[in-house]
Each structure stands twice: as C-alpha cells, then as structure tokens.
Structure 1
Amino acid sequence: MTDSSLPRPSPSLWASAWKDYRVWLASLAILLVLAVFDTSQAVESATFAVGALIRTAPYLILSIAIAAWAGATGADNLIAKAFTGAPLVMVLVGALAGGLSPFCSCGVIPLIAALLAMGVPLSAVMAFWLASPIMDPSMFVLTAGMLGAEFAIAKTLAAIGLGIFGGLVVHVLARGGALADPLREGVGNGGCGGSKIRAPKPPVWRFWQDAERRAKFAKVSVDTTLFLAKWLTLAFLIESLMLAWVPAETVTSVLGGQGLMPIATATLVGVPAYLNGYAALPLVGGLIEQGMAPGAGMAFLVAGGVTSIPAAMAVWALARPPVFALYIALSLSGAFAAGAMFQLWQLV
C-alpha cells in the first residue's frame, strides 16, 4: 500500500482534536518554552500548578458532583418552568434561573435560540442570557473556595441583579416597539438545548436506578473533570508567571485603589483578557493578592463572563446587531455597577 492510499484524517477530525487538546497543548507549550529559556521557572510553575490543583481538589470534586447530578437527574429541565407567566415575573424568574441553575453541555446559546424562536419575550430571555454565564452552582463552589464565600455570594447577587436590570431595560424598550425580531434570519429553533423548552421532562431524582442515567452521570463526571482540569492547569500556570513577572506595584497602580477608575479599567480589560469562567478565578485571586481592588476583580469577572470574545461571537452569530449592541452595553454597564457596589460594600 502506498502512502497516497493510506486513509487520511478528515478536516473535521483534525478540528475536533484541536478543540479537545488545544488547552492542554497551550499548557505544555508554556512549560516547554520555560524549560528552554528559564528552567528554574518551569519547575516553579509546574510545582505551583500541581499544588494549586491539590488545594482546590475538594471544591473541584463537589463542583463535578453537582454538574453530574444535574445532568443525570435532568434537574436542568426545570429551566423550562422559568418562562411562563407575566412578563415582569418572567424577568425575575429568568434572572434567578440564569444565575442559579446548572446547564447541559449543549450550552446556553441553543437554549436562547429556542426561547426566542418560540416567542418568549426578549426581556425574559435577556434576563436569563445575561445572568447565565456568570454563576451556577459549580461556579459558586469554586468561587467560594478560591476567592471566599463573601465574594461568591456577591457574584451570585451580581449575576441575578444584572439579569433583572437587563430584562427591565429590554422590557421598557420593547413596549415602545423596539427590538422586534431579535434573531438573525435562518437561526433554528435551538437544537438539543431547545428540547428543554419544547418538551420539558420531570427530573428523576433516583437516577442510580436507571442504567442510562448512571452512564450519563459517569460521562458528565469525566467530561467535567477533564474540562476543569485543563482550564485550571492553564490558569494556574499563567498565575504563576504573573506572580513571578508582574510587579505588585504595577497591578496596584492600574487596578488598585478605592476609586472608580480601577473598576472601569477592569471592566474593559475583562472583554479581551477573559479566558474561561473557571480559569479566571485563580487569575483574579492572584491579582487581588498583588493589590487589585476587590471591586475591580468583581467587575472583571462579571464583564468577562458575559462579553468575552468567544461569548460575544456566539451572541453576534445568533442575534441581530441592535440586540447584540444592547447585550454588550448592558453587560459592561452592569459589570461596572456590580464592581462599584462590591467595592462600596468592602468599605462599609
């Protein structure tokens, strides 16, 4: 058999492999470059990452268990109940659902498409849309473990508050006739995420009695473990370099202090610099240790979670430009307000 006759991996296979392993490859690349140019720092960074993973292991285990339980029992189907009733009630419940509920691996974008395609008011959808990337039960556990319970509670309130704020703004604008037909032409009805709205199923709490649900629990556990491990490993490596190379006085001068400027700066920096909700936690923790104002850290996490470049691209692909622009404006203004209020709380 000649080389030309050998089967070749399809482009889709290469794309899937790249998507699965790019974060691990980034971590490996960092260590290899360090090993070549600064061997001692390579050892320090690897040791730092391993130690940090061990310290956060209890929170990781609980976080993984919550995600697996939600997937196996079908608890995330409860989200369908959030979108019935009066518009203002739906805004409130949508914000609560977005800020507190776990979701399947299909992601929030297909679910948003389903809600809008089915005629759910944009105000309620926006409330859910803004709150959902910021906080969920797994994120709460990890945030409490890395940044403290007070920060985790405040971030949860920020998520819900941002959802309510955005939903009310959209409700007022929609009453004036604006924001009609929010979806781009050709967007479907939501795929697998949309099935939770079209045909919601009651949760099965005793999931261990069903072989298929036990298998789903195992699969979600493995998938969540790998997801968290790869992102946190990269985050801890970056944090180790940040602590080693970024002078504390630089962080303090740019993002420290008690004024509004550090919060505004962190809000804008969060858009391009945000990696991932879980990966951002240790980075913010390291910055706070170096002098970053807590309010700036809150603004960074809220703004980055909602308006990071990958998230913004997904929203752009789904919504018409006016809805996208409003989404970004609400995200940034809400993140700044959350940071300012958290900073004020720290001073009380």
Structure 2
Amino acid sequence: MVMIERSLSGPSRTSLWVTGIWRKEKPWLAVILILLGLWMFDAGQAGQSLDLMLRQLASVAPFLAASVLIAAWANATGADGLIARAFVGAPAAMIIMGALAGALSPFCSCGVIPLIAALLVMGVPLAPVMAFWLASPLMDPAMFALTTGIIGFEFAVAKTLVAIGLGLFGGSVVHLLVKVNGLSAPLREGVGNGGCGGARVRSPQAPVWRFWHEPERLARLRREGVRTALFLLKWLALAFLLESLMLAYIPAERIVQTLGGEGLSPIVLATLFGVPAYFNGYAALPLIATLMEQGMQAGAGMAFLIAGGVTSLPAAIAVWVLVKPRIFALYIALSLIGAFTAGLLFQLWKLF
C-alpha cells in the first residue's frame, strides 16, 4: 500500500527523466520537432533547411573548436586567471584594444559567440569584451575589400570607422554601468563563473602548465570542453535552422524594398529591419548596392548593414542563451543606437 501511495503521490522515474531531458535539451528537441513538421508539410524545405543548418555549423566549426579548446585548456591549467588579469587595469586602453581587435578580426556575428563565451567564462571584464563583441562582426580585411568593390571605397572606410566607434561606444557605456554597480555576473547560470573582473581575477592561483600529469585536471579539460561545446552547438543549431526558415518564407527583397524614400524614416526602418536580418554581411552587400543605385539613402544602407551585422537572428539567439536578460537587452540597445547613429551621420556626410 505504501508503495502504491508513493507512486500515486509522487512523480515516476520516467516522468522525472523526461522532465530533466526537456529542461536540458530543449534546443535539440525544438530542432527535431521543427524538422519533423517541415517534413510533414514541406518535405523539400525540410531537406534544404537541414542542409543549410549543417553547412552553417560547419562554417563556424573552426571558431567553435578553437574557442572551446582555449577555454577548456585555460580552465584545466588555471591560466584563465592570468588571461583575465591581463584585462584588469587601464579600462580605456582595454576598450580601445578590444574595439580595434574586433574591427580587424575575421569573425562573423555567429562565429564570434564561442570566443565571447570563452572570454567571459575566463573572467575577462565585460567592457572590453563588449567592445570586441560589437566591432568584430562588422569589418575584417576580406569584408573591407568586398565592400570597396561592390559599394565603394568611401563606404568601406566609413563602415570600418563605424565598427571601431561602435566598439568604443559600447565598451564605454558598459564600463560606466559597471562603475555604478549596474552590471555584474553577465553569464547565465550554468554557462560559467566569469564576469566583470571574475572570480579567477579576485582569487588568482599559480597555473599548472603540465596539467596532463594530474588526472583531475585532465578530467576537468574533458568535462569543460564537452560541456561548453554541447551547450553552444545545440543553440547555434537551432538558430541556424530558424535562419533557414526565414530565408525560405520571408524573401530578403520584400523586407529591404520597404527602406526606400527620403528623410529620417528610412534610416529608422533600416535600423529596425536590420536587427533580425538573417543574411550575413557578404550576402547583403550586393542587395544594398542595388537598392542604393535605385535611390535608397546611403545612410539607410549603412544602418541596415550595421544593425544586421551585429544582431542577426542566429547571433541574437546565441547571445540570449549565453548572457542574462539585462545584458542581452543592453546588447540590443547598443546595436540599435549605434546603427541609427551611424546611418544618420553617414547620410549627413553624404549631404554636406
């Protein structure tokens, strides 16, 4: 009787297991359900979406692998404390270096996510990380050359300056908020113990470079690497799958064609449409160039490329699951303000 009462009053092992799986593996379950739904109602698109998701994952795999290995190695050796301490002191210099490094790095808005996760887990302060985060997806040597060839040298130079300026702006705002105790512990629970200064900076320990001689540190390397890789992989997979649906069912031309006209409204609309933009900067360049030739304001084109480059849908989802909601809101707000300001200033430059 007691056993029967327990089975009726409490959850079964199966229900607890299912609940645990749902809590931990919601992204994978969502991917499976979306693909099953597509297969039932649009089998052709199911294959295309799966193919795009896998190709996108493959494109960011080198960045993902490098960042996961660096984070796991730093955790196993204790070198994460040294790396984090390198960002302590001289906040202005660190923000400037973060913005410059971001503007020259070859990361897209999704490819930079694993590196940002590794830096925050190590305890690197949020201000220089945010500077790098905002500047990195906007410009790199290849993007500069392609932008020059498609839109023009002036536009490429302006976009480079915007990338650096947005990084400096975002890093400075975050630094001021940290000083007034407005931000702390940016990562979500279970992602890491980084933050503005980080526990590893507050309690530094001497690193153990030959960590492979200690079984516990080897186990930590494997555990941290697998945990971080799986966490990032499942959310990026869902993000890229959603990107494929937007590509299939919401043509890019339909969105961007609404951005014509004169005055301030095209820049505002370009900023708002650019935030959930689902194609990368390379794919957007020819489309923006064509629309500019047809009369679209140069400022609107700049605003669209900046907003879309920093906060494309896959990147926004990855940021959402990586940091706490208020950090995500700040990231979006900085992107919106930066994109609109860049578009407005570039338009004024073109006029005068």
Q: Same fold (TM over 0.5)?
A: yes
Q: Report how many residues are paired.
A: 238
Task: Give me the whole-angstrom Cα distance separating, in 2, the residues matched to 1:305 and 1:98.
Answer: 13
1:105–1:149 CA distance, 2 compared to 1 (3 A): closer
1:21 corresponds to? 51
Pick from 340, 345, 352 the counterpart of residue 336 of structure 1.
Answer: 340
Q: Please tell me whether the aligned partners of residues 109 and 136 of structure 2 are also in contact (alpha carbons under 8 angstroms).
A: no
* Alpha carbons 1:114, 1:189 under 8 Å: kept: no
* Structure 2 residue aligned with 1:277: 281
> Offset at 1:106?
8.7
- The equivalent position to 1:268 in structure 2, one of 258, 266, 272, is 272
CA–CA distance in 2 between the matches of 1:308 and 1:104?
10
Normalising by structure 1, what TM-score?
0.59
| Distance of aligned partners of 1:300 and 1:184 in 2 relative to their CA distance in 1, 3 Å threshold | same
Q: Which residue of 146, 154, 169 corresponds with 1:150?
A: 154
Note the C-alpha offset of 1:255: 2.5
CA deviation profile, 1:20-45 (whole Å, cap 9, x unmatched): 733899xxxxxxxxxxxxxxxxxxxx
Q: Is structure 2 residue 254 aligned with structure 1 residue 256?
A: no
Q: Distance in 1 between matches of 2:348 and 2:93?
A: 29
> Could you tell me which residue of structure 1 aligns to residue 163 of structure 2?
159
Contact 1:122–1:170, Cα closer than 8 Å, also in 2 = yes
CA distance in 1, matches of 2:284, 2:339: 15
Who is 1:296 aligned against?
300
How far off its partner does 1:269 sit?
Answer: 1.1
User: Separation in 1 of the partners of 2:110 and 2:315?
Assistant: 14
Q: Deviations over 1:26-75 (max 9, x none)?
A: xxxxxxxxxxxxxxxxxxxxxxxxxxxxxxxxxxxxxxxxxxxx9xxxxx
The 1:22–1:104 alpha-carbon spacing in structure 2 relative to 1, beyond 3 Å, is closer
Partner Cα separation in structure 2 for residue 309 and residue 106 of structure 1: 9
| Residue of structure 1 equivalent to 2:119 | 115
Q: Cα deviation per residue 1:93-150 (whole Å; 9 max; x = unaligned)?
A: 1011111122499921111111112221111111011111111111111111111111
Taking the TM superposition and a 5 Å limit, the aligned residue runs for 1:126-145 are 126-145=130-149
Aligned position for 1:179: 183
Segments of 5+ residues of structure 2 without an aligned counterpart are 1-31, 37-46, 56-62, 64-69, 71-82, 195-206, 209-243
TM-fit CA distance, 1:272: 2.8
Partner of residue 330, structure 2 = 326
Determine helix, strand or coil for the equivalent of 2:276: helix
- 1:13-92 → structure 2 map (5 Å cutoff): 21-22=51-52, 83=87, 86-92=90-96
Relative to 1, partners in 2 of residues 1:268 and 1:151: Cα closer, same or farther, differing over 3 Å?
same
Distance in 1 (alpha carbons) for counterparts of 2:345 and 2:282 = 23
TM-fit CA distance, 1:84: 6.5
Q: Deviations over 1:140-176 (max 9, x none)?
A: 1111111111111111111110110011010000001
Q: Secondary structure at the match of 1:256?
A: coil
1: CA distance, partners of 2:181 / 2:341 = 27
1:118–1:101 distance in 2 versus 1, CA, 3 Å = same
SS in 1 for 2:175: helix
Q: Distance in 2 between matches of 1:112 and 1:88?
A: 19
- Matching of residue 101 in structure 1 with residue 117 in structure 2: no
Structure 2 distance, partners of 1:139, 1:151, is: 12
Cα deviation for residue 189 of structure 1 reads 8.3
TM superposition score normalised by structure 2: 0.59
CA deviations 1:274-327 (Å, max 9, x no partner) are: 411211111111111121100000000000111221111010010000100000
Is 1:113–1:189's contact at 8 Å kept on the other side of the alignment? Answer: no
CA RMSD of superposed structures (Å): 4.0
1:169 matched to which residue of 2?
173
Aligned partner of 1:152: which letter? A
Aligned CA distance change for structure 1 residues 105 and 289 (closer, same or farther; 3 Å): closer
- Asked whether the equivalents of residues 188 and 322 of structure 2 are also in contact (C-alpha less than 8 Å), the reply is yes
What corresponds to 2:349 in structure 1? 345
Give ranges in structure 1 of 5+ residues lacking alignment: 1-10, 26-69, 71-76, 191-197, 200-230
Contact 1:87 1:121 in 2 (8 A): no
- Retained in 2: the 8 A contact 1:83–1:93? no
Identity of aligned residues (%): 64
The residue number in structure 2 matching 1:6 is none
Alignment-mate amino acid for residue 286 of structure 1: T
Q: Kindly indicate whether the alpha-carbon contact (under 8 Å) linking 2:109 and 2:310 is maintained by their aligned counterparts in 1.
A: no
Q: Which has the larger radius of gyration?
A: 2
